[in-house]
């Protein structure tokens, strides 16, 4: 049985390697769908949506109204420090694909119940683009 919950956050980023407009500082209203597949418990729940929120919301809160910056993008890190702006420094380029893998890893490291078999994250960077990956927890 699969359950899913959607999360949203606002975040700035840039892709320094990009030859088009994505090398510029810009932001997105990100959305992700977290899907969990597992056996329902005796009460008929794979995972209480309430518990799902308690696990995932803090991870999303870290990103919300921050600027995600690649650790090699020294000028931007220096600028964000100078203006005392919220930032999340990562060791990857902030593509939708990499943000999707980042969220999967962060969620995987939490204390998820044993009845969960697979975890899927779908990250929408814009309203018509997404990156999706699924991992097994067994
Ligand atoms: N495979 C990927 N391609 C691109 C990514 C990405 O994360 N993965 N990211 C970008 C840029 O960040 C850009 O902001 C989004 O690109 P795009 O969808 O082209 O944005 P537009 O709103 O301009 O697209 P429309 O064609 O107007 O819908 C680029 N590529």
Looking up residue 13, the CATH number of its domain turns out to be 3.30.479.10
- Is there an atom of ligand 1 within 6 Å of 125 CB? yes
137 CA distance to ligand 1 centroid (A)? 31
pLDDT surpassing 90 at residue 28: yes
What atom of ligand 1 comes closest to residue 20's alpha carbon? 29
ipTM: 0.91
Asked if 60 and 9 touch (Cβ cutoff 8 Å), the reply is: yes
Per-residue pLDDT tens over the stretch 44-63:
999 999 999 999 999 999 99
- The pLDDT of residue 138: 84
State the total domains in the chain.
1
pLDDT surpassing 90 at residue 29: yes
Q: What residues make up the domain containing 117?
A: 2-136
- Is there an atom of ligand 1 within 6 Å of 22 CB? yes
Residue 133 CA to residue 100 CA, distance in Å, equals 7
42 CA distance to ligand 1 centroid (A)? 44
| Whole-structure pTM value | 0.96
Per-residue pLDDT tens over the stretch 95-120:
999 999 999 999 999 989 999 999 99
């Amino acid at each position: 049985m699969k359950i899913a919950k959607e999360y949203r956050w606002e975040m700035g980023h840039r892709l320094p390697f990009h030859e088009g407009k994505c090398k510029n500082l810009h932001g997105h209203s990100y959305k992700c769908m977290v899907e969990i597949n597992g056996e329902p418990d005796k009460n008929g729940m794979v995972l209480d949506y309430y518990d799902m929120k308690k696990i995932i919301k803090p991870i999303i809160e870290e990103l919300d109204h921050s600027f995600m910056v690649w650790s090699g993008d020294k000028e931007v890190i220096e600028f964000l420090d100078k203006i005392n702006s919220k930032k999340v420094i990562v060791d990857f380029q902030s593509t939708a694909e990499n943000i999707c893998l980042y969220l999967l890893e962060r969620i995987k490291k939490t204390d998820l119940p044993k009845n969960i078999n697979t975890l899927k994250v779908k990250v929408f960077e814009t309203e018509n683009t997404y990156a999706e990956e699924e991992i097994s927890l067994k």
